[in-house]
Every structure is written in structure tokens, then in C-alpha cells.
Structure 1
Amino acid sequence: MGASKLFNKAKKAVQFSLKFFHKIVDKNFYRSIKYTSYYKKTKIDDRVIFYESFQGKSMIDSPYAIFKRLINDTNYKDYKHVWALNSRDNLYAQIYKGHKNVEFVKVHSDKYLKYLTAAKYLINNDAFPSYFQKKENQVYINTWHGTLSEAISKDLKEERGQLRNIQRNFLHTDYILNPNKRIANRLVESYGLEGIYAGNVVVEGYPRTDLTLSSNKEEIKEILTKSLNVDFNQKIILYAPTWKEETNNVEDISDKINELHSNIPIEYQLILKVHASLYERLKVNDSLREICIPEWIDTNELLSVVDILICDYSGIFYDFLITNRPIIFYLDNHEVCHSPDESSQDLKELPGPICTEINEVINEIADVKYYMDFYKNRREKMISAFCPYDDGNVTDRNIDIIFKSKHTKNVYPIKNDKKTILMYCGGFLNNGITTSAINLLNNLDYTKFNVVIVEKEKYDPVSTQNLKNLNHHVKKIYRIGSMNLTIREWLLHNFIVRKGLRNEKLHKHIPKQSYRRELLRLFGNVKFDIAIDFSGYVPFWSMLFAFSEFERKNIYQHNDMLSEYNKIINNKYKHRSNMNIIFPLYKYFDKVVSVAKNTRDLNVKNLPKFLPREKAVYVHNCIDANKILRQKNEEEIIINEQRDVASMNDLNDQEKLYKNRIIAPDENNINFVNMGRLSPEKDQKKLILAFSQLAKQHENIRLFIIGEGVLESELKKLSISLGLYDKVIFTGQLSNPFYFINKCDCFVLSSNHEGQPMVLLEAMILNKPIIATDIAGSRSVLRNGYGELVDNSVEGLIEGMDKFLKNKLPRKTFNYELYNIEALNMFYREVCDYNIQNMDNVNKGV
């Protein structure tokens, strides 16, 4: 072995050792290792119940209600109750710390990790950490903690990525408790659980409401008296404003509270229940600190001794409704005037007066004696709609369901009989794979399939926008956190990532169980019928899918994969290390799917060691003709303003003239157009060289290049050096390229390898003359006379463009509707093993 190779090998060994050292001292990594050890080794104790509320901040809400009932029930005297509680500096914890069957643990502590894997019953009103995954035979009950308004529901649908760990937790649950059917339906819809949730929805009310109706008021008053100065000789007014970090101002809220505090009638006493972040800020105010209810005091027990509630349009008033006591709604004027239509209608039905100024609130307090009669009908209607089960026995019914399996008619599953597909699509970058994925997902028949895409945790603006283009039936699950691994599994996984799997002997060391465990962590109880690695370029997802236990699992090949293996960018093989893992994984998939017959045949020929002929199939990409035909007439062209940032650094002043310089196609010129990544395999360099020869003979020809990529700077320099600055126009990435292409006269594809070029199909829909290099992917598309295939060389492109200039290119109308039906049938047959006889409506993306 040469000195250079020895040095590189030693360097890599040192780098890996440093990586391992940094990981092992990382507390999150250590915690994950520890949790995995407990997960694998700890036995489940059928008599342990684990409780958590709001990430261990307090002993409150429905988990607390269930705990209070069980701790005093002799039928459960042999059970151990473990609370995740970060601080025991409160009266609730003091009351129960002496019980021999009650234990408190801090979130993330070793005992927390152990009980999280050992407890038979897990009860939470929010979400366990990202490393949590339910073990087989554990029972996870999520009591949730809020009543979703229409507006909140819409926000959840738009911002679901921010709530991904909550969604992930729901997928692990066996029971989700709900106050009514309306809220249950909204929660299921908002978190994308339709058709995939494998647990039970329970609509028997929130157990916490029993604390409002059935608590020992004298005990609650004693707790409040000890924790802050409350005089129960006066009537109690509770003000519970919602805290909105983005719109609320602490000073404004403080001023309003002080004004209210100073002006309430003498027979009343004001107390505050605010969000934790606001509580910490208000505590610095001496007068307000005196009336702030500590976070650890349960809201529902508090409501049992409250005479009047002042709140905005938030969930607390639903819980207070059942007391039949007065509610005053204090909303800011903007909230009243600019609420969405649904919320505006709800505001008109509120069972109490709506105030927008403090003085109005003061005046309404004086008139509370009239409220019960005046708002009786509204109150009864709202109780019937939102609190139909809040009768003081909610906890008992839920306990019977959970611990005794006494399911009522209000316990039901939502899983249906559709086939469920899981797909990884490659990150939704601006590339052909993304276009193919979006087109497929927008054409599927959702009366027959549930489709879930799983994607990375964080997205950039480009990926976010592409995700928004998906059919609304597609469910999105975001990967949050990291794999739960033992030290040995971590070492093996990283060894494979570095070395690849071309050596067959390494396959016996693949940590298959860790990949299966990761799928369980991500998807909980969800059962998928079909898994599709639609990307085919990312080893992590290929490994997860390859060693899964799905009924069918498939991986796509979107290109001539040997050419991709040998592709060099910036003097480095771009895909080689990834393909050294992915190629050997093909044997673990049921089908390896190319996007065209010629591409399939080429991959079988080039990869005989990895791709058995019997597994290799081809499925054409779907197209979205309606979108293309619509956008070809939409004149607005939006340019990606960031497209030049990376490529402009090494340009001189003259070359920088290209930045953001867009010249629209002039109908007096003859305009050629190319679209694709500015990357070696697309070979726009060859196209520019060919164009330069024709430009010497034809003054009125232009070449438009749509796209961005690593070669942008190099290609611009080439154009300038050839004197083509005003004839070769780089547009960058366009949000609507079809308007631009439609304005041009001829589409030219100069690629060295392609799978099935989407741009050719798009140009055919626009009925554009086409010139393309004669490679496998382009041949599959144009072989029936839809364009001119030319030699893959500068000379071949010159010949093709010259033919167009002489009006000698073939033209043929493309039946895109028939093509799409056939492409979908291929997908259903080859990928899903599913034959659909009547395809009349499939193209509509039902």
C-alpha cells in the first residue's frame, strides 16, 4: 500500500475516532443509547402506570384526574404510579410524595427512560420526547389538552411540520381521548390521521372536567390559600388571557390587568391564570405576583371555586361552561373584527357578553346576575355541542375503557380498507424526481389508496413550496429526532456508511433490527402495505425500506445509474459512496423500478451483479398536462433570487452582468430553449458550443437555458468567451417555466444520460419541436416520431438545430391523456400489484 493511501486511511480513522468521541460525550446521544438499552432489555410491568403532563412541568389536566381516581380506588391498590415531574416544589407533589406506590422522576433522567420502557400504561396530555417509541404490549393513552377551534385546525394543517412530534406521538397511541365527536374529527383531520391511525378514538369527554364538577372545594380553597393570598369571603373572578408570543405585548397586558384589578367591585377578588411564559414575566410586578396562580395548580380544580370567568376565545371557557356560572369574553377589537368566517359565527353564539375594552368588562361584572337567564339558550346549545359527556363520571368511563376493555359505542377505530402506501421522495428539491413525485401523487386514485410521504425534519423555502403543490389527500410525516441505537449498532451503521455494502460478507453485520426499530419510532402502530423508495439516491431511507417488513417494497431508478455512479462534480464522484450502499440493497426489494424501458434495459446490462432481471421493471412517469397548459398562458415569471449567490463569487465584473439578467423570447428571433440542472450530465456546455457555430451563420437565433446548478459560473464564462453574451440567456430557476418554453420555438436536450426526461414530455404537451441527444431515456420518449434524436456530440446538435432552421424536423401530436392512463396502470400493476379495471376517473386525482 502506497504512502498516500496509508495516510488517507489513517486520516479517516482519526476523523472517525473524533466523531465517535464527540458523539459519546453528547448528552442527547448518551440518552438515546441509554433509552435503547432499556427498550431492548427492560420487561414491561403490567402494574405500572406512567403519567406526564406538558413535558413534566406539573401534575395537572386529565392525567392528574385519572391518577386521582386510580390512587383512591381499591381495585388498583397494587398498581405503582410514576409521575414525570421536573420540580416537586408544589403542594400537589407534597401531598403524594409519602405514598409508597407513587414515585416522581425528572424528564430525561435514567429513571424516566427506564419507566418509559417498563410501564404497561403510558398517559400523556401532550407528547413524549422524540426518542420515545411504544413497545409491543404497552398501552399509550393520549388525553390531549385542548379544544380545537376552526382557526386552530386550519393552522395545524398549514403548519403541521412544526407539530411533527405530536403527530408522531398520536401514531403510537392506543387511545386518544376527546370531549366530543366534532373535536375528535377535527383532531384526526388536522394531524393527518385519516386512514392510517391504528388505535381507538374515544369520545367520552375529558377526564379533567370531573375535577371541576366533583372536587372537594374546601381542599382546593386550602391549597389556593397556602399558595397565594386568596380571600374566599369574597367572590372569585378568574381572568385567563391567552398568550400569543407573536402579537401580545407584556406591558399592554400588564396595564390591562392592573386596570381591571383596580376597578372590580369591592365584593370580588381577581386572580390570574396565564401561560407559563407570561407568568414568568408578570411575576416581576409586585401587585400582579400576588394574584398569579402558579402553573402547578390544576386549572379544572381551580374552576370549581371560581364565580366568574373572564377569558378570550380559548378552550378554558368550554371547561367552565358546565358550572353554569357567568363568563365574560374580553377580546381585542382586531380579533372581533377580523376573525375568519367560522370563528365570527362562533363568536355570535358565545354564552356571555363580548367586550373589547376594560371598562366594558367592569360594567358587565355588575350585571352578571342577569346572565344565567339571558344566555341560557346559548349556554345549553354550546354544552350540548361541546360538553355532552361532562357529567362528573367521565374519568370512570375512560378508566373502564382503558383498564377493563369495556368499550362503549363512543370508542371506534378510523382505519379503513384502502391500501396504504409509504413513500420517500428525495427531499422535494427542484429536480426531475420531485416533478415526477408530484405528478404521480396528484394523479393517484385516493378512493383506493392512502398515501403517506415521509421526509426530513427541516425544509428550505424551495422544498416547502414544492410540498404545497401536493394533492391535499397526501399525508405528510416528518422525521424528527434520530435513530435509537446501541453503541454496537451505531458503530456498524457508520461502518456501512463509510465502507458501503459491495462486499457481500458485510451484509451479515447489517444492523437490520435498528432500521426496523427506526420505522416503528417514526410511525408507531401504522401498518403500511407498500413502501416505495421513490428517490433511490439516499442510503438512509433505502436501508430503512430494504429491511422493513412491508408486504411490498420497491425502489426507483430515475436514471442510467452506472453513469450516475461515475458522475464527477468538482473533481469528486457525486454519487459513488451512496451507490456503493444502494446498489447492493436492490436484492432486498421486491421490484427495482426504472422510469423507461430503455433505461431499465441499460441498468440491467450495466449492473448485472446487483440487479436481477426478474426484479427489474419499468413504469413511466406521470405528467400534469392541465397544469402545463394552464401555466403556458400565465405571463408572470418568478425568478429564484438566490440562484446566483454561489455561482457569482468567482465572476469578474463583466461576467456579473449575467446576474438577474432576463430577456424574454422575441418573436422576431428564432429561440431555442433548454431546461435542466446546470450539471455535467445535462451537458449544456456541448449545447453552447454547438449553438456558437450556428450563431456565426444566423444573427437572429437565441438560446435560453432554464435552471441552476454547480456549472452556472463555468457556462456563463464559456458563453462570454465565445462572444454569445447577448445570445445565450440564463434565466435561473423559474416558478413557471412553461410560459417561457411556450414562447420559444424549439426545445433542445443535450443530456449525456437520463432516465425518462420529464422536460421532453412537457415540451411534447406544449407541442414544441424537439431535438435530443440519442441516449436511452430520450429514445424511450421520442422513438415514435415525437422529436429528432441526434448523435450525442456537438456535431449532432449542430445537425439537429440546422434541420429545425430548415424546417425539416418531424412533428407529431402527443396524446397525453392516454399516456397518463397507461402510466398510472403501469404504476398500479408493477409497483402496487393492483389492477384497476375502470380507469375513467383516475386521471382526475380524486
Structure 2
Amino acid sequence: MKRDTGFRRIIKYTYFYEKLEVKDQVILYESFHGKAMVDSPYAIFKMLVNDPKYRGYKHVWALNTTEGNLYAEEYTDHNNVEFVKVHSDKYLKYLAAAKYLINNTTFPPYFQKKAGQIYVNTWHGTPLKTLGKDMKGGLGQHKNIQRNFAHTDYLINPNIYTADKLVESHDLAGIYNGTIIHEGYPRVDLTLNANRDEIRNKMSRLVTIDKTKKIILYAPTWRGEVNSVSNTKDEIQQVIKELYQKIPDGYQLLLKVHTLMYKHIKNDKRLEEVCIPDWVDTNELLSVVDILITDYSSIFFDYLVTKKPIIFFMYDREIYETERGLYIRLDQLPGPICKDIEEVIDCMKNADTHLPFYEDKYQKYIKEFCPYDDGHATERNVEIIFQEKHTKNCFRVRNEKRNILLYCGGFLNNGITTSAINLLNNLDYSKYNLVVMDKSNYDATSTENMNKLNPMVKKFFRVGSMNTTIIESYKHNYLINKGLKNESLHKFIPRTLYNREVHRLFGDIEFDIVIDFSGYVPFWSLLFAFGNFKRKVIYQHNDMQAEYDKKINKKYKHRSNMNLIFPIYKYFDKIISVAEHTRDVNKANLQKYIPSEKAAYVHNCIDPEKVQSLVEEKSELLRVSHQQYLVMNNTTQNGILKFKGIMMPEEGKVHFVNMGRLSPEKDQKKLIIAFSKIAEVHDYVRLYIIGEGVLEHELKKLTIQLGVQDKVYFTGQLSNPFQLISTCDCFILSSNHEGQPMVLLEALIVGIPIISTDIPGSRSILQNGYGELVENSVDGLVLGMEKYLMNQLLTREFDYRTYNREALGMFYREVCGEEVEKNSVLQETKLGIYLDHTS
């Protein structure tokens, strides 16, 4: 509380959220995070504050400073208008108690709408450039926007095109519970209904304006990413300088930059004479503009209603299209596109001549993007929001599919990630809306894995921290640190905290089924166990007692987490293991925690088409001294090629291959020792080990000690391991425990012979002749490799299509609670039926 401002703010907001009653006639307005009193919230405010029907309402503006703000000055003496700073105590109170919340961007991550509040988001423009998940750059840039939208009761749009883009780009289709409105933008009324003389007089108090001259406005958008705005001040300065020197007679130049860019130039002396302050409403300004120069900004859509010339200055068109992306073809824009300043100057001088040339495109854009901009959009939107007079242009996007929420474990390079990707690539999206919730920050590995998900998956990203009381925070941290193995502690579980967090993250979105597909992360296990969901499921991807006892660097890796997760199994409707043997082991070892009737098993799904396509994918090979290498990465500098490559299998040699994390449970140490014994007798054998992990240095050191460093190849992590695996002779798994090893299923798809230690997870796949199960020891692996070298391994063909159908049937039945008819063929045995009976 003393050292963390953010924590103090959360504590205060939570107190107000829980204690204050909603005040029916209070409206909180916010635009651009409190930077200004502008845009559609301002248009709505101007109507309401002057309308006798709403005389009894109090209007609260979130405004970080009123100093020098002519808009705020106009209302300073109004008894029913109050200004508060964002994050201030008063702001927190009104955010928690005002019935109506009206914003054109987002409220902070700690905000969550409470029962009785009505949240209206007006957004701030028709999108030319991409939004949300469609934006290039880092994953989840839009996370707080998406979260805010999930809380809204109304999303206001100028046209159906914008409504579609907002919904789709923020993964709201099918799950959003609010109302979409497309009755026109209130802010455009500020342009159409403006008193132009009054606006010019107001502008003359801010910048040098000659009232006898026409106005050219240069209004560029911002560059970069949402949380990393590029400083383009120097570029803007140069453009203004060149335009200023060659501006046509009878015109004057003004500058209005995007609010995200304003902080970089607001104190620049070279621009102060032409730069309009950030707090000035852009739409009121547009009412006195005679020529607009812009780039990729949505400002031009609003300006269309003036029917005056628009010039598009896109000096970085190729770069911008590549780095940000656009929704609309630029060659269809209602004005000339200029690549350099000379073209802009020419278009300025000939603006009236150019305008008729673009008349058809101009009218087409007005019809498509401004169909309701008639000066009365504010009135219609206000009647919808405050009087519930819904029109034909109000609609919902919620569908009748069941909503499933999954947490998949961070999308690290492991079997859980592979299993999750395969499952989500196989599910029936005609019946379900699938939402994956994950962390907010991604490295290259988790980004790559996240991007492998089926495009139908809706991706949400956690932002901010839990809204908590002091007592709840103490209880939560105590449970995280101490666990719940003591039954008496269960009465202290802060269930309200976890329900509140679910609501903060997902707003009004409702989920029928939640799946903790990871089963290793206490935070998500707690949220899913105690959230108000209809059906709750948690997965066990391994022998969980063995995981509990696993040590890495002399420390128990999972013990602390499992001390909390094991005791809350009972709060889930189903505890799903990934194989029958694994379920039986977990039931036996954890019978204290797993109610027998809740234990079930569901086989991992596979993606055979993807595996086969990767086998056939021809990665770059390079031949050096009669030996082929799989090129990992390469660079060319000054005519010199430098590359890292993996030696491909050689003719006349036998190549075993292993894939998995380099960690204790995979036990590549045992495999290397066994291989060294084989290599003593058979000089022609080689071993590939694919993967990375904490034991890499130790394992490489072991190969040196055993004298097989030239016969064991550590490849590291491979984005496509299957081209290498398919050219090897035999797959070998040395694990001490597994749930249901994905690598064995993938090896079966590849069609390579398999040797594995006889552990429950592997036995569930390889029993009935799919591979060689050997004693879980060095001697057992030696025996298995000897049998292969003597051509004594018998394998049977794997019917992966039948397997996948049954795995999906299990998922629908056990996880989703559906009544799924079993295929009569599948009742013959457990996994033994997944062979071609004709072979």
C-alpha cells in the first residue's frame, strides 16, 4: 500500500465498486483517456446538457487538466457539470457509481462495469487502417480495448462497415452480449451543425488565423504500435515547412495531429503557430476547413460530409501497408494520392479542378460510409441509450452456439501446446465458439505457437491485475504460497475475488464450459474452479504424482503449484486425463483429491494432415563435402555465406531419433547411456535428440564422457522436426512418465518404427503392436535398439482418422457433456482398434 500507487488505486476502486450504489442520473464522459473534452462523447454531452428533458442529470467529465481548455471554461460555472482527473479518487468513485459511462476509447484496466451501470463506447472513427487482431506487430496490442468492448452495453458506429470491423477484429462475433448501433456518429453532427464564425473566433485565440483566407488542414495519423508510438515529429516539421513555403494564395495552413502523437510536438516552438491543441474538437475544426490533407487517418471519412477536397499524402505507403495493414484499397479513395510534397503542392493549387474528377468515388464513399450523417445522429443515439427506443439499426451479434473458454498454458514448446493446437484445429465451430485466454506478453516462441491456432479461435489476453480488497489480497497470496492441502483453509478461499476477476476480464460474455487445459498454473485453476461457470473441466497431461516429485537442479519444479491445484480438483465437474492408464494412475495416487465419479480420460487429438504436410515440406538442404545439411539459419555478408545446419542421415548408417524437452522426466540421460552401449558394438549407429531444456549442458557433457559426442546430434528446437524424423530409421522415447505422448502419435503418422519405455502413457498408444515397449531402464532401451538392428521389431499400421474421430467423440462426451453415440467398431478394444484390420 505504501510503495505501489497502482495497488492503492485498485484497493480504492474495489472499495467503491463494492460499497457505492449506482446513481441513476449521473453520466461520466471520457475521451482519449482524459486528454480532451471532444469527439462523440462531447457531442452527446452538448445535447444532453442543453436538453430540458435531462435537466436533472449530473455530467462528470474525466479531464486531466482544464487549464487553457476553452471547452472546459465554457462549463466551469455550470452546477451540473464537474471535472475530475483520471485515476483520482473522485474519478474512481464516479467510475464505480455513475449509471452512464460514455467513452470513445477505453477505461483503465482496473475498470469493470457493475450491475446497474450502462457503458456506451462510441469508438473514434471509420477504420481505413487495421484494428485489433488484424494489426501487424505484437500479439494482444488491443487487449484492453477488447476487454472494454466486452463490458459495453452499446457500441456506437457510423456505418455497418465499421460495426463489422470492430466486432470481427476484436473477436466479439457470436459472444458479445451488448447492442451494436449504426445510426451515424454523434461527432459528425458537430461538423454539420457548427457555427462557423464562432469556431473561427475560437481558433483565432489558439493559433494565428487570417479570417479572410481559406484553411488547409494537415492531419496525419500516428505510426508504430498501440503501446509504442513512433515519434514522427521531424517528418511533420519538414512537411509543414515545405507546405508553408508554397501554399497557394488565399490559403493558410493548420496542423492537427493524432492524440497519440500530440505529446511529441505540443511544446515545439516551430509548430506552435499552426498546431491546433489536442483538446480542440476535430469535428468542429473540420467545419471551417476548406482542404484536408491526410494519410491513413479516419478523419477523411468525417470530412466527406463537407463535400470539399481531400488530398492523401502517403509518402510511406508501401511501408505502412506492410507494417500496419489497411482494410480499403487505396486506389478507390475519394481524392488524389501523393507520394511526395511536390505532388501535394500541385494538388493544393488545383484542388477545385481535381474535385470533379473524384466525384463518383466521393459520392460512393458518402453513400457507404456516411449514410446516416444528417445532423441528427446524436439525437437518435441518445433516444436509444436513454429511452431504449431501439431502431432497425440496432442489432446483436450473439449466436446460439455454446461458448467454451480455455487456458492452454502459455503456448510454450511442449506437448500441452501441441495437444491444444491439434484440439482447436479439429473442433466443430458450427456448434461452439472457442475462446482462448492467455497472458498478455509473448516471446517469439509463444507467438509462433499462438499463431498456429485455427483462425476461428477467438483470442483474449489478460491485462491488468485483480481488483481486490486488502483481506482478499492477503488470502489469495497466502493460498498461492501455502497451498490448500489443509482442508480447514478452504473456508478462506476468496471466491468473490475470483468471480470479480472473471467479470473484469470478460465483462458480459457468458461461458458454458471452461477448460483449464494446462492444469499446472494455480491462478487460472482458481479462476476456473470458483468462477460462475456452468461446467468446469481441468486436464491432467501426465502422471501428476510423478510431476509433484520431479526435481530440476535439486528443486521441486511443480510441488508448490500442485499443493494448491490438487485440493481444488473437487470443485471441477470433470478431471480429464489424456489416457486410460494415466487416469487410473492419477486416481490411485491422488485418490484423496479426485472424486472417482469425476475422473475421466480423453485422448489427445492429432493433426495428421499437418504432420504429413510438414514431412513433405522441403526445407533448405545444403551439400558440403558429399554430406547434406538441413539449414537452420544463414546469412550472407560480403560474398561469404555463414549458416548453421544439421547433418542429415547418411547412407549406410542407422539413425535413431528422440524428441522432447531436455528435462528429467524425459530422461535422455538414460537414452544416451543405452546408445553408447549400442555404439560400442555397432559403429554405424547415430542418435538425433530434438529439443531444448535445462539439462542440455549436462547431456552434452555426458556424451563427451561416454565418447559418443560425434555420434549424438543435439538439434535444438526445430520449427519443423518431421522432415528430419521421417528420414531417420527408428523413433525412441526414454521417458519415465508421460500422460499420452504426442510425439508417439506423430511418429505413428510419419510411419517410423517406434521403441518406448513401458510406462502408462506410452502403453496406451503402443499396445497391440504399434511399437516396441521395453523395460524402463538402460538395459530395456539397449534391448529395444538391438531388436531393431536385428530387424525384429513388428509394427502395425495406425488408422489415424478413426483415432481422431474417437478422440473428438471423447472430448464432446466427457468435456462438453454431450451425448455422443459411440461407433460400434470403437467398442472392440481401447486403443487396439486403431489399426488397419486388413493389414
Scaled by the length of structure 2, what TM-score is found? 0.92
The change in CA–CA distance for 1:744 and 1:363 in structure 2 (over 3 A counts) is: closer
The change in CA–CA distance for 1:838 and 1:95 in structure 2 (over 3 A counts) is: farther
User: Are 2:69 and 1:86 equivalent residues in the alignment?
Assistant: no
User: Are 2:397 and 1:414 equivalent residues in the alignment?
Assistant: yes
Paired letter, 1:392: G
Aligned partners of 1:838, 1:66: CA distance in 2, in Å?
A: 58
User: Are 2:162 and 1:201 equivalent residues in the alignment?
Assistant: no
Aligned partners of 1:689, 1:838: CA distance in 2, in Å?
A: 45
Q: Give the length in aligned residue pairs.
A: 801
Paired letter, 2:695: L
Q: 1:821 aligns with which of 783, 788, 805?
A: 805
CA shift for structure 1 position 312 = 2.1
Alignment of structure 1 residues 529-568 onto 2, 5 Å: 529-568=512-551
Q: 2:254 aligns with which of 271, 292, 299?
A: 271
Q: 2:95 aligns with which of 92, 95, 116?
A: 116
The change in CA–CA distance for 1:333 and 1:535 in structure 2 (over 3 A counts) is: closer
Q: 1:680 aligns with which of 632, 643, 664?
A: 664
Q: Is the 8 A contact 2:520 2:561 kept in 1?
A: yes
Which secondary structure state, in structure 2, belongs to the residue aligned with residue 520 of structure 1?
helix
CA shift for structure 1 position 663 = 2.7
Q: Which residue matches 2:624? A: none
The change in CA–CA distance for 1:631 and 1:83 in structure 2 (over 3 A counts) is: same
CA shift for structure 1 position 838 = 11
User: Are 2:237 and 1:254 equivalent residues in the alignment?
Assistant: yes
Q: Which residue matches 2:469? A: 486
Aligned partners of 1:436, 1:381: CA distance in 2, in Å?
A: 48
Q: Which residue matches 1:746? A: 730
Which secondary structure state, in structure 1, belongs to the residue aligned with residue 18 of structure 2?
helix
Q: Which residue matches 1:759? A: 743
Q: Which residue matches 1:363? A: 346
Aligned partners of 2:265, 2:498: CA distance in 1, in Å?
A: 48
Which secondary structure state, in structure 2, belongs to the residue aligned with residue 602 of structure 1?
helix
CA shift for structure 1 position 328 = 2.5
CA shift for structure 1 position 24 = 4.1
Aligned partners of 1:342, 1:635: CA distance in 2, in Å?
A: 30
Q: Which residue matches 1:404? A: 387
Q: Is the 8 A contact 1:133 1:521 kept in 2?
A: yes
Aligned partners of 2:592, 2:520: CA distance in 1, in Å?
A: 18
Q: Which residue matches 1:227? A: 206
Paired letter, 2:300: F
User: Are 2:171 and 1:187 equivalent residues in the alignment?
Assistant: no
Q: Which residue matches 2:592? A: 609
Q: Which residue matches 1:618? A: 601
Paired letter, 1:486: T
Aligned partners of 2:322, 2:645: CA distance in 1, in Å?
A: 43
Aligned partners of 2:632, 2:458: CA distance in 1, in Å?
A: 28
Q: Which residue matches 1:147? A: 126
Aligned partners of 1:710, 1:639: CA distance in 2, in Å?
A: 25
| Range that drifts further, 724-733 or 434-443 | 724-733
Aligned partners of 1:558, 1:634: CA distance in 2, in Å?
A: 30
The change in CA–CA distance for 1:731 and 1:28 in structure 2 (over 3 A counts) is: same
| Range that drifts further, 373-382 or 315-324 | 373-382
Paired letter, 1:315: S
Q: 2:28 aligns with which of 13, 33, 50?
A: 50
Aligned partners of 1:463, 1:337: CA distance in 2, in Å?
A: 26
User: Are 2:418 and 1:439 equivalent residues in the alignment?
Assistant: no
Which secondary structure state, in structure 1, belongs to the residue aligned with residue 181 of structure 2?
strand
User: Are 2:156 and 1:177 equivalent residues in the alignment?
Assistant: yes
Aligned partners of 1:781, 1:609: CA distance in 2, in Å?
A: 28
The change in CA–CA distance for 1:122 and 1:344 in structure 2 (over 3 A counts) is: closer
Paired letter, 1:796: G
Q: Is the 8 A contact 1:324 1:372 kept in 2?
A: no
Q: Which residue matches 1:506? A: 489
User: 1:60-99: per-residue Cα shift (whole Å, max 9, x none)?
Assistant: 0000000000000011111111110001011111111111
Q: Give structure 2 stretches of 5+ with no counterpart.
A: 621-629, 634-642, 824-839
CA shift for structure 1 position 282 = 4.5
Alignment of structure 1 residues 313-332 onto 2, 5 Å: 313-332=296-315
The change in CA–CA distance for 1:572 and 1:171 in structure 2 (over 3 A counts) is: same
User: Are 2:6 and 1:28 equivalent residues in the alignment?
Assistant: yes
User: Are 2:612 and 1:633 equivalent residues in the alignment?
Assistant: no
User: 1:167-213: per-residue Cα shift (whole Å, max 9, x none)?
Assistant: 11111111111111111111111111111111111111110000000
Which secondary structure state, in structure 1, belongs to the residue aligned with residue 715 of structure 2?
strand
User: Are 2:580 and 1:597 equivalent residues in the alignment?
Assistant: yes
Which secondary structure state, in structure 1, belongs to the residue aligned with residue 140 of structure 2?
helix
Q: Which residue matches 1:243? A: 222
Aligned partners of 1:801, 1:307: CA distance in 2, in Å?
A: 82
Q: Which residue matches 1:528? A: 511
User: 1:779-826: per-residue Cα shift (whole Å, max 9, x none)?
Assistant: 111112101111111111111111111111121000000000000000
Q: Which residue matches 2:773? A: 789
User: Are 2:760 and 1:776 equivalent residues in the alignment?
Assistant: yes
Paired letter, 1:100: N
User: CA RMSD, aligned part only?
Assistant: 2.3
Aligned partners of 1:342, 1:681: CA distance in 2, in Å?
A: 45
Instruction: State the identity %.
Output: 60
Q: Is the 8 A contact 1:684 1:750 kept in 2?
A: yes
The change in CA–CA distance for 1:283 and 1:38 in structure 2 (over 3 A counts) is: closer
Q: Which residue matches 1:161? A: 140
CA shift for structure 1 position 352 = 2.7
Paired letter, 2:782: I
Aligned partners of 2:699, 2:723: CA distance in 1, in Å?
A: 24
User: Are 2:46 and 1:68 equivalent residues in the alignment?
Assistant: yes
The change in CA–CA distance for 1:384 and 1:837 in structure 2 (over 3 A counts) is: farther
User: Are 2:22 and 1:39 equivalent residues in the alignment?
Assistant: no
Q: 2:285 aligns with which of 278, 302, 305?
A: 302
Q: Which residue matches 2:789? A: 805
Q: Is the 8 A contact 2:548 2:562 kept in 1?
A: yes
CA shift for structure 1 position 349 = 2.9
Aligned partners of 2:595, 2:478: CA distance in 1, in Å?
A: 26
Aligned partners of 2:275, 2:149: CA distance in 1, in Å?
A: 33
CA shift for structure 1 position 247 = 7.5
Paired letter, 1:192: D
Aligned partners of 1:180, 1:345: CA distance in 2, in Å?
A: 15
Q: Which residue matches 2:719? A: 735
Aligned partners of 2:211, 2:783: CA distance in 1, in Å?
A: 95
Aligned partners of 1:118, 1:484: CA distance in 2, in Å?
A: 16
CA shift for structure 1 position 405 = 0.5
Q: Give structure 1 stretches of 5+ with no counterpart.
A: 1-22, 642-658, 840-846
Aligned partners of 1:568, 1:412: CA distance in 2, in Å?
A: 55
Q: Is the 8 A contact 2:133 2:170 kept in 1?
A: no
Paired letter, 1:740: L
Aligned partners of 1:372, 1:794: CA distance in 2, in Å?
A: 82
The change in CA–CA distance for 1:103 and 1:343 in structure 2 (over 3 A counts) is: closer
Q: Is the 8 A contact 2:131 2:166 kept in 1?
A: no
CA shift for structure 1 position 56 = 0.3
CA shift for structure 1 position 434 = 0.3
Aligned partners of 2:752, 2:41: CA distance in 1, in Å?
A: 64
Q: Is the 8 A contact 1:559 1:594 kept in 2?
A: yes
The change in CA–CA distance for 1:287 and 1:766 in structure 2 (over 3 A counts) is: closer
CA shift for structure 1 position 265 = 2.7
User: 1:502-558: per-residue Cα shift (whole Å, max 9, x none)?
Assistant: 111000000011001000000001000000000000011000000011111100000
Q: Which residue matches 1:12? A: none
Scaled by the length of structure 1, what TM-score is found? 0.91
The change in CA–CA distance for 1:838 and 1:526 in structure 2 (over 3 A counts) is: farther
The change in CA–CA distance for 1:151 and 1:38 in structure 2 (over 3 A counts) is: closer
CA shift for structure 1 position 262 = 2.3
CA shift for structure 1 position 380 = 1.5
| Range that drifts further, 48-57 or 732-741 | 732-741
Aligned partners of 2:556, 2:631: CA distance in 1, in Å?
A: 30
Aligned partners of 2:445, 2:658: CA distance in 1, in Å?
A: 21
